[in-house]
Structure 1
Amino acid sequence: MQKRYNKPTTVNDKEQMPNLIANLDDLSDVRATDMTYIQLTYKSRIYMASVYVPENRKVLAYQIADIMTAQLATTVIVKALRRGDEPLYVHSGMGSQYTSALFESTLAAVGIKHSYFRKGCPYDNARIEICHLLLKR
């Protein structure tokens, strides 16, 4: 087992945004996105953002960076869009990267609706969380 480290967090004072996919039966037009950290040494880590297809459990795009920014979150969405993937919904957390003007305007420019999982409830985005967990192990 790996030793647990203090997880990095971001602060967001926004009210809870809507979860548009909570009652969907068909997830074929949904893409989940999230960021995770990968511990390199005791004091250094990198961050990976990814776009995930919940229906067939595939990672469409990912990007690695030294810092967790809105640009990192947006880059993976743009990569997925360049592959010809145009979902109706992108489901993400409520971190400052995903509520940023850059991220929101990128989705709005191509007509994608933004769905959010509830604050403090990783189970809403469990599929991508498990994907990241498997990668870390």
Structure 2
Amino acid sequence: MKNLDDLSGVLTTDITYIQLMNRDWVYLATVYDPEKRRVVSYGLSSEMTKEFATSVVVKALRANGKPKMIHSDMGSQYTSSLFEGTLQNAGIDHSYSRTGHPYDNARIESFHSLIKRELIYHEEYRTIDDVRASVE
């Protein structure tokens, strides 16, 4: 993990799970600016794939310009050649959370925890469209 004491130009990203009433899962991927404390991009999907994780970051880059670094955990979506290649082609450094140190990604984890406590856990969702309407 690179030093994240200076948050200028750093974006964090992660995926969290939302369970539907039928026990299927919907995945919320978020790109978060910890310096400005705001979400810069997000997406919902019924599949947790490298394409999904990458598309949310690409959307953030189009809307917000190029950060110095993107920080993520070491999930397979974020260590994939698609994700790594996308960042490399854009000239963006990639920082990972260290194995066994989930607090390295605490800022985005904290945001996901907050949205679940304040919104998600108070609703019952039948479809991904229900989740989308709620989150938007």
TM-score (norm 2): 0.81
- Is 1:71 the equivalent of 2:51? yes
Unaligned segments of structure 1, at least 5 residues: 1-18
Map of 1:11-26 to 2, 5 A cutoff?
19-20=1-2, 22=3, 24-26=4-6
Alignment coverage as a number of residue pairs = 117
2:75 matched residue in structure 1: 95
Task: Report Cα offsets for 1:49-96 as digits up to 9, x if no partner.
Answer: 110001121000001000110011101111011113210110001011
Aligned-pair CA distance for 1:42: 5.5
- Is 1:38 the equivalent of 2:18? yes
Percent identity reads: 56
Q: Which runs of 4 or more aligned residues in structure 1 lie more than 6 Å from their structure 2 counterparts after TM superposition? A: none
Of Structure 1 and Structure 2, the greater helix share is in 2
1:52 matched residue in structure 2: 32
- Taking the aligned partners of 1:101 and 1:41, their CA distance within structure 2 comes to 34
- Taking the aligned partners of 1:89 and 1:127, their CA distance within structure 2 comes to 15
- Is 1:121 the equivalent of 2:101? yes
TM-score (norm 1): 0.81
- Taking the aligned partners of 1:25 and 1:135, their CA distance within structure 2 comes to 24
Q: Secondary structure at the match of 1:97?
A: helix
